[in-house]
Amino acid sequence: MDPVTPPPIRRIVVDDEPTVVGPPPAPPANGHVGGPGSPAGVGSPAGVGSAPGVPAVREQRRRSAPAVAAYERMRLEALTIAYAAKPAVRGVTLPVRQGEVLALIGPSGCGKTTLLRSLNRLVELTPSATRSGRITLDGDDVDGLEVNRLRRRVSMVFQQPNPFPMSVFDNVAYALREQGSRRPSQSELEPAVVDALQRAGLYDEVSADLQHAALRLSGGQQQRLCIARALAVRPEVLLLDEPCSALDPRSTATIEELIVRLRSEVAIVIVTHNLQQAYRIADQVAFMYLGELVEYGPADSVFGRPREQRTRDYVAGAFG
Amino acid sequence: MSAPAHAAPAGLPPGDSSGARESITSWRPVDRIGLGLCWAAGILLCVIAAAIVVYMAVRGLQYLKPELLTRSPQTGLNQSQTGGFLDPLVGTFILTVLGVSLAAPIGVATAVWLTEYGRPFWLARLVESGVEVVAGTPSIVLAIFGLIIFQQHLFAFLSFTAQGNAVLGRSFFAAGAMMSLIALPLIVGATREALQAVPGHLREASYALGKTRAATIRRVLLPAARPAIGTGAALGMGRIVGDTAIVVILLGASLQLEGAGGGPVVSTLRGTGSTLTSYVYNNSPAGEGNAPQKAYAAAFVLLLIVIGLNFLVGRIARGGKEQAWTR
C-alpha cells in the first residue's frame, strides 16, 4: 500500500433511523416544524436547526411516548455551591417535574454536573464543597432526609458506564439488596431484576445469560445496565450526567428513546453537552453559564426564541 | 489505521519496510555499552537462578527419598538413623497458615482504613510509617522482640510454662504472631494498591444507589481487590516459609513437634517445633546435626515450595487482570 494513502473512511450506518441521516427539513422563516400535537408557536431552533433531521427525530421521540401531565417533584431554591472559595453554582432556582425531561445545558465548567450531583447530595463526597440554599423533594428538605434513602429516591447514572465487576444479574441485584447483605436470595430478586432490565430496554439482549460478566457487554449495553441498576430501586427522580457522551450514535439513539419513554414514571434531569440531544429529548431546558442559571423554559422556546443574548449565542454554537 | 509502518515519518524512502525500526548503530558508544550491560545483567540473573535451581535439584534429588518426607527427625550421630523431616514440613505448614491467617485480616483492614478513611491525616501518616517500620525491621529483631513479649506472664497461655513459673515464650503461637508481621506489609501494600486502582466513579456509582460506605467496601471494593489480596497473601507466605531467624529464636530448638498440653491442636500450637529452614540450618555443616545430605534434600523441598508459591502469585495476578474492569 502506498504510505501516503489515508485510511479508508468508515461509515456508520444507522439503518433503523433513516431520519437521522436524511437531509434537514427546510424550516419556514417563522417556522412551525412541529407536527400535529406540538404546542403552538414552536420556533425553529436557531442553533440546532442546522443539524440534519433533529426536529424530525424529536417528533419521533415525542410520538413514541406521549407526554403526561407533569407535576413538581423537586425544587432548588437559591442554590449556591462552592468548591473551597470558588463558586460553581450561583443562586439557582429551578423546579424538577415528573413527566418531563429537564436538560441542563451550558459550556464546560458552568456547574451543570455540580448542580446535578447536589440533587442526591453526592456533591457532599467532595470534602471542599459547601452548599447554601434549599433543595426539596416532595416538599421535604433533602438535608433532613437520611442520605442513603434520598439516593435511593433520587438515583443517578454517570457519564462513564460504570457497572460493577460482577454479573449482569448481580449488578442490578446489588441495587435491590439491603445494604451489604446477600438477602433476599437470587430467586426472590429475579422478577425485580428482570423488570428493571426490561424497563431499561436491555433484557432482550441479556436474557440468555444473566450471569454474563457485566464488563463484557458493549459500552451502550453497559450504560443501559447502569440505567437498569438505577431504575431497580424504583427512584422518583433519575439523574443522568451526560449518559451518552461515551457512546456510539446507535446506542445514543436507544438511550434517548429510553429516556423519553421513562419520563412518565420518573422525573428526569439530564446534563448534556450535546445541544441536539437536548433538543431531541428535553421538555424543559435550563441553560447555565458560569454557575448561573441564564434561562429556563420549554425546549422549544429556549432553542427557538431564547430571551437572553447569552442563550442565543450558545444555542447558535458561539461558545460551546 | 492500517499497518503502523505507514505511520513512519515522511522522508523515508518508500517501500523501506524497516524504516519504522530504529537502528542502534546510530547510537553513541556509551549508550551501546549501557544497552549491552542491560542485556548482560538480565542474562546473568537468569544464569544465577538456573544455577541455583539446577544445583539444588541435583544435590537434593540425589538424597531425597520418599521416607524422608514421612518420618520424624531423630537425634543421632549416624546420619542413617536421624530420620526424615516430616515434623519440619508440618511445622512450616502450621506456621505459614498461622502467620497468614493473622496477617490477612489485619492487613486488609489496615489497607481499607488507609484508603477509604485515612482521617485524621496525621494518624494515617502514622499508620503508614508504622507499616513501613514493620516492613523494614529485620526478622531477627522481630524475633528478639517477640521473645521479650511472649515471655511475659500475660502471654503464658501461648507457650510452655516451666517449673518455677518461667514462661518459655517460644511456641508456634509466638512464632506465628511474629511471622504475621513479616507478611503484613506485603498484604497491606497489595490491597492498598488494588483499592487505589478502583476508579472513583465506581465508588460513586455505589453511593448513588444509596449504599453505605460499609456496603460499598464489602460488595464492590473488596471483591475488586480480591486478586491483589491473594497475591499479597501468597507473597507473604513465601516470606514466612523462607524465614529462619524467627523460627530459630521463637519456635524452640526441638526438631520434633513437642506439644505443651491443653488439648490436641492447642497443645501443638503452644508447643515447639521446627521448620524446613531451621532443619536445613541445623543439619548444615554450620549447625549441630551435621547431616548435609538431609539439609540438601530439605533445602530442595523448601525451594520447590517457594517456587510453587511464586507460581501461584503469578496465576492469581493474571487471573485478576483477566477480570480487570478499568478500561
Cβ-count burial of A17 within 10 angstroms (0-12 exposed, 13-18 middle, 19+ buried)?
middle
pTM strictly above 0.95: no
Tell me whether B225 touches chain A (CB under 8 Å). Answer: no
User: What is the number of other CB atoms lying within 10 angstroms of the CB of residue B188?
Assistant: 28
B97 or A59, higher pLDDT: B97
SS3 of chain B: helix, strand, coil, percent, to 5: 70, 0, 25
Name which of A122, A164, A269, A271 to mutate to probe chain B: the one with the most chain B Cβ atoms within 10 A of its Cβ.
A164
Give the CA distances from residue A283 to residues A44, A67, A272, A277, A291, in Å, rounded to whole numbers and listed in that order: 15, 9, 14, 12, 22
Tell me whether A165 touches chain B (CB under 8 Å). Answer: yes
B74 or B280, higher pLDDT: B280
Tell me whether B224 touches chain A (CB under 8 Å). Answer: yes
- State the pLDDT at residue A179: 66
- State the pLDDT at residue A5: 52
Q: Residue B67's pLDDT band (boundaries 50, 70, 90)?
A: confident
Rounded average pLDDT over B257-279: 82
Name which of B209, B213, B321 to mutate to probe chain A: the one with the most chain A Cβ atoms within 10 A of its Cβ.
B209
Q: Residue B30's pLDDT band (boundaries 50, 70, 90)?
A: very high
Tell me whether A127 touches chain B (CB under 8 Å). Answer: no
Tell me whether A20 touches chain B (CB under 8 Å). Answer: no
Q: Give the mean pLDDT of chain B.
A: 84
Rounded average pLDDT over B109-128: 93
Give the cell for residue A38. 406540538
Residue of A nearest to B321 (CA): A165
Is beta strand A101-105 parallel, antiparallel or unpaired with respect to A267-271? parallel
> Does position B236 have pLDDT exceeding 70, yes or no?
yes
From B5's Cα to the closest Cα of chain A, the distance in A is 8
Q: How much is the ipTM here? A: 0.76
User: How many CB pairs lie under 8 A apart between chains A and B?
Assistant: 79
The verdict on a CB contact (< 8 Å) between B14 and A179 is no
Give the CA distances from residue B294 to residues A186, A271, B274, in Å, rounded to whole numbers and listed in that order: 55, 73, 15
Tell me whether A180 touches chain B (CB under 8 Å). Answer: yes
Calculate Rg over the CA atoms of chain A: 20
Nearest to A162 among B3, B205, B218 (CB): B205
Question: CA nearest B102: which of B158, B183, B160?
Answer: B183
> Could you read off the pLDDT of A252-282 as tens digits, one per residue?
888 898 899 888 888 999 999 888 889 889 9
Q: How far apart are CA B109 and CA B88, in angstroms?
A: 32
Nearest to A174 among B8, B219, B323 (CB): B219
Do you find a cis peptide bond into A184, omega within 30 degrees of 0? Answer: yes
For the ranges A4-8, A112-116, B80-84, B163-167, which has the lowest average pLDDT?
A: A4-8
**CA neighbours within 13 Å on the CB side: how many for B238?**
19
Question: CA nearest B95: which of B218, B264, B278?
Answer: B278
Tell me whether B212 touches chain A (CB under 8 Å). Answer: yes
- State the pLDDT at residue B154: 83
Q: Residue A28's pLDDT band (boundaries 50, 70, 90)?
A: very low
Residues in CB range of B263: below 8 A, 6 or more apart: none
Q: Residue B21's pLDDT band (boundaries 50, 70, 90)?
A: low
Q: Residue A65's pLDDT band (boundaries 50, 70, 90)?
A: low
Rounded average pLDDT over B25-45: 93
- State the pLDDT at residue B19: 54
Give the cell for residue A29. 422563516
The verdict on a CB contact (< 8 Å) between B199 and A158 is no
> Does position A320 have pLDDT exceeding 60, yes or no?
no
- State the pLDDT at residue A240: 93
Rounded average pLDDT over A131-147: 90
Angle formed at CA B154 by CA B150 and CA B159, multiple of 5 degrees: 45
- State the pLDDT at residue A17: 39
